[in-house]
Amino acid sequence: MKNTNYYVIDSSSLIELNVKYPIDVFPSLWKKIESLINNGVLIAPKEVLKEISVFDDSLKKWAMKQKKLFKDLTENQIKIVTEILKKYPSLAKPDSELPAADPFIIALAIELERSPQKTLTPSVKKRIIVTEERLRGQRVRIPLVCKEYGIECITIIDMCRIEGWKF
């Protein structure tokens, strides 16, 4: 098995990808995304599906078919989310009526990083969060929290480049 990155994807990246590269116009790109999902190296917490469901019907329809993409919340992730929200309460967007997947995305990546399975799979390179959010000063967003936890954040286009995709 070749060296593999594990990607935890944010709804912002899926939404951005569908806006710029719609599923019906760029099916080969979306097939590559599905390949990562089917190989178990592109995942997201179920909270991402909740966010997607609010914004885009075509993306929601696609996402509902991706059974391997969305992972159930574990007890360990709940503990990690609690830890994150103690330090960064605004990450949960308390003033919003919309679902807030951000702390769950980070918790999933942290759980993967801490997993004892990591040592059993020496071919795994990194756990990386894919998000369109950017580090902007001390604004509490995914990249700021990830910086503290030592988790790399990249954009969806960066992921395509790392995977060596050409279209």
For residue range 71-87, list pLDDT tens digits in order: 999 999 999 999 999 99
Residue 23 pLDDT > 70? yes
Per-residue tokens: 102: 């951000």
What is the value of pTM for the model shown?
Answer: 0.88
Condensed to tens digits (0 to 9), the pLDDT of residues 106-155 reads 999 999 887 655 444 455 678 999 999 987 766 778 999 999 899 999 99
- pLDDT at site 7: 97
What is the rounded CA–CA span in Å between residue 93 and residue 152? 22
Torsion over CA of 135, 131, 28 and 167, rounded to 10 degrees? 10
User: Is residue 1 very low, low, confident or very high in pLDDT (cuts 50, 70, 90)?
Assistant: very low
What's the CATH superfamily of 4-163? 5'-nuclease (3.40.50.1010)
pLDDT of residue 99: 64
* pLDDT tens string 36-95: 999 999 999 999 999 998 876 889 999 999 999 999 999 999 999 999 999 998 888 666
